[in-house]
Amino acid sequence: MSMKKSLQSVILGLIMISPGIIAQNHPVYMDDSKPIEQRVEDALSRMTLKEKIAMVHAQSKFSSPGVSRLGIPENWMSDGPHGIRAEVLWDEWYGANWTNDSCTAFPALTSLAATWNPAMASLYGKSIGEEARYRNKNVLLGPGVNICRTPLNGRNFEYMGEDPYLASRMVVPYVQGVQSNGVAACVKHFALNDQEKYRDQINVIVDDRALHEIYLPAFKAAVQQGHAWAIMGSYNQYKNQHCCHNQYLLNDILKHDWQFDGVVVSDWGGAHNTLQCVTNGLDMEFGSWTNGMNWGSSNAYDRYYMAAPYLKMIEDGELTEKELNDKVSRILRLEFRTNMDKHRPYGSFATDEHAEAGRKIEQEGIVLLQNNRSVLPINPQKVKHILVVGENAVKRMTIGGGSSSLKVKEEISPLAGIQNRAEQNQIEVTYLPGYASPTIAEQDVKGAKATESKDIDREALCNETVKAAKGADAVIFVGGLNKNPQQDCEGDDRTSLQLPYGQDQLIAALAKANSNLAVVILSGGAVTMPWVKNVPAIVEAWYGGSSAGRAIADVLFGDVNPSGKLPVTFYRDLSQCSAHSLGEYPGDGVNVNYKEGIYVGYRYIDKQGLKPLFPFGYGLSYTTFKYGKLTVDNQTTSTDSITFRINVTNTGKRAGAEVVQLYVSDPKPLLPRPVKELKGFDKIYLQPGETQQAVVTVARDGLGYYDAKKQSWVNEPGTFNALAGASSQDIRSIIKFIVK
């Protein structure tokens, strides 16, 4: 770059930072008092063809160029959605070994969804957005809102459950919280990326009704209510087009129907064809190595589909600049909302405040599944010696799992959390692993090798642990999955619903050895529990991030009353899951057919009259709640919304929170509909003996269904049932209402 051009870039950079120091006739695009669209138009008019082409594809693993000549900064992305990923080398996935990029790990999004509390989603988004802003990232690659169609999906832990309404309610405040920091939330993976097996090639066959009712609503809410500034396409295909350049999904639905004005980013290596990238809605292309999904030549960014090949098609007259101008306009809009907004805050990183935010989210997301004989919370008057068992009690859960792997400032393990809390009551804590998983190489470390694997003598580990359990006052087993390949990990799915590494046999033996047993499961979703009738206390703790151990101990010792509710169904076996019993999973490697249609999760459970292991929306408390009678403000209405109310009383001796869930049923639909569907919820906090009114307002539009023949949503008048309950299978009160 010449001295003159360098000086010009510096001056324009100063203009961006301090517009008051320059004359009033500076470029319109630098004047943040002007409307964004006017600034976009002005900046675009000043750019050369090659500058435009440069902006629509990557220049490194996680960045794309700006226009230094015009003072327009680069765009820098960071993997999410649970924390800000460590810096990597310019052209590789391997860590760059910085010393100042150790972040806060927030709980997995399944844990966030299990809070059933939009305020927690707002706190989550604000906190992670502050960390992204501090690290000078202007796009956070998250959150994920793909639907949990099968519990085997390797990335379920990155998503918000099986229900489109719940995911929609939780994603909006997350997006708003992130973007309040001047950082774009990039909602992913759009769309139908509901399995990892065959993910880069599988073509999803799904009917229009299921697409619109089940798989798109959370994305639509993120765009129309959350006003997300970015969307990431998915690897899979739909209508035999890759979703990163898909005419129907990106142009027809996202940009036309939903009026999305942000940027569509490819998943890394998700682009496959220059012409389709140009015409079918992709705005920014990023890669894996530099050659799509494969490992290929280094620093080959000019060979990206939307790089030199795109430029040549324009120069040869095969394409005009029409599509390019739209793409660059969207990227400029992103710049003005993020990097070039001088009012955005500075952010903060790996703070105690963020650790506490993660702890609070995890506290509310932990689900008490079973508590026979009131084994929990731990009673220090009766318990003086606790045996903690399980590899997951000490294993680091913030690393591994694929793109959500993190380098953290601190990670409090369940064992450390339990030990620290037990000390306050002079309770002795001992630890035994009980089981072991095979060692694997650490992710993102160049040249990393797994430590030498030794033969695992499961019988010896089990016998040692059972012997110790007989002498303990209480046993806390911490197990589950662990983000190893095929155990909640990007790139492949789980092969079974069972707990791995012989845990089921160990738990069954512990239950016989000590009746005061609590099992804590760390996982991204459902697992089977053949020992469920013999274990008095069961806790689902998901992946809790940096403060996981503290939050788990808070619940186990009763400092926090658990209030989480399941965002997914825990099946007894895979035959209860519609993707396996009705639909196809994982497909034949070419196609996968969602034959189950709209009957996903609890919708299928209800239709078949099944009793799962634990139903959607289920979760216990250390106190009890009594529901009153459900009422509706106007039993016959033609208004845009209907408001329901129900009194709830805390009938126990502890303060606690209850999630009142409102489902709606259409007894006489013109088209087949689920037995009931979640349409609202309200989380209320009650002192012992206190009564509060839960209030749920349902939009009339939310009562409709998608008519594939009409290609539109239909809102039928008629008589509906509203059902209020503590879970999808624990309905406490029902009322009829009429919509004119």
What is the third-level CATH fold of 625-739?
Immunoglobulin-like (2.60.40)
> What pLDDT, on a 0 to 100 scale, did the predictor assign at position 661?
98
Average pLDDT over residues 571-589: 97
Residues 612, 601: contact at Cβ < 8 Å?
Answer: no
Report the alpha-carbon distance of residue 489 to residue 485 in Å, rounded: 6
Q: Tens digit of pLDDT for each residue in 337-366?
A: 999 999 999 999 999 999 999 999 999 999
Residue 10 confidence class, pLDDT cut points 50, 70, 90: very low
Q: How far apart are CA 113 and CA 173, in angstroms?
A: 12
Using CA atoms, how far apart are residues 31 and 18, in angstroms rounded to an integer?
A: 10
Please say whether the beta carbons of 417 and 551 come within 8 A: yes
Query: Where residue 296 falls among pLDDT bands split at 50, 70, 90?
Result: low
Q: What is the mean pLDDT of residues 609-622?
A: 98
Half-sphere exposure of 150 (CA within 13 A, CB side): 30
Judge whether 267 counts as a catalytic residue: yes
627 C-beta neighbours (distance < 10 Å), count: 19
- Cα dist. 251→214, 247, 302, 334 in Å? 20, 5, 26, 18
Residue 706, pLDDT above cutoff 70 = yes
Residue 197: what are its φ and ψ, rounded to 5°? Answer: -65, 125
DSSP state of 284: B
The pLDDT value recorded for residue 71 is 96
CA atoms within a 13 Å half-sphere pointing along the CA-CB vector of 15: 23
Half-sphere exposure of 278 (CA within 13 A, CB side): 23
177 — pLDDT class (breaks 50, 70, 90): very high
The per-residue pLDDT for 136 is: 97
- Predicted TM-score of the model (pTM): 0.95
Q: Write the single-letter amino acid at 25.
A: N
pLDDT band at 5 (very low <50, low <70, confident <90, very high): very low
**Residue in 79, 194, 267, 488 annotated catalytic:** 267
pLDDT in tens, 301-338: 999 999 999 999 999 999 999 999 999 999 999 999 99
**682 strand-pairing partners:** 660
478: helix, strand or coil: strand
Burial annotation 433-459 (CB, 10 A radius, 16+ → b, else e): bbbbbeebeebbeeeeeeeeeeeeebe
Question: Where are the CATH 2.60.40.10 domain residues in the chain?
Answer: 625-739
> What confidence score (pLDDT) does residue 461 get?
95
pLDDT band at 545 (very low <50, low <70, confident <90, very high): very high
Element (H, E) at 189: strand 184-190
Arithmetic mean of pLDDT, 699-724: 94
424-440: per-residue pLDDT in tens? 999 999 999 999 999 88
Average pLDDT for residues 112-127, to the nearest whole number? 98
**Collapsing DSSP states into helix, strand and coil, what is residue 372?**
helix
Question: What does the pLDDT read at residue 294?
Answer: 60
Residue 13 pLDDT exceeds 70: no
**Residue 3: count of CB within 10 angstroms of its CB:** 7
Residue 2 pLDDT exceeds 60? no
Q: Alpha-carbon distance 176 to 184, whole Å?
A: 9
Can you give the pLDDT at residue 635?
87
**Residue 11 pLDDT:** 46
pLDDT above 80 for 199? yes
Which tokens belong to 51?
């500058």
Name the segment(s) of the chain with CATH classification 3.40.50.1700: 352-568
Encoded amino acid at 595, one letter:
K
Residue corresponding to tokens 């000078």: 136
Averaged confidence pLDDT in the chain: 94
What is the per-residue burial (b if ≥16 Cβ within 10 Å, else e) of 536-575? bbbbbbbbbbbbbbbbbbbbbbeebbbbbbbbbbbbbebe
Q: How confident is the model at residue 284 (pLDDT cuts 50, 70, 90)?
A: very high
CA angle 146, 148, 151 (to 5 degrees): 140
pLDDT digit string (tens) for 481-509? 999 999 999 999 999 999 999 999 999 99
The two structure tokens encoding residue 223? 């765009």
pLDDT of amino acid 15: 43
- In this prediction, residue 484 carries a pLDDT of 94
Phi and psi at 734, nearest 5°, equal -130, 145
Q: How far apart are CA 287 and CA 292, in angstroms?
A: 5
Any idea which fold 352-568 has? Answer: Rossmann fold (3.40.50)
Contacts of 370 (CB under 8 A, 6+ apart): 532, 535, 536, 537, 538, 620
pLDDT digits (tens, 9 = 90+) for 67-107: 999 999 999 999 989 999 999 999 888 999 999 999 999 99
Cα-to-chain-centroid distance, residue 28: 39
pLDDT at 4: 45
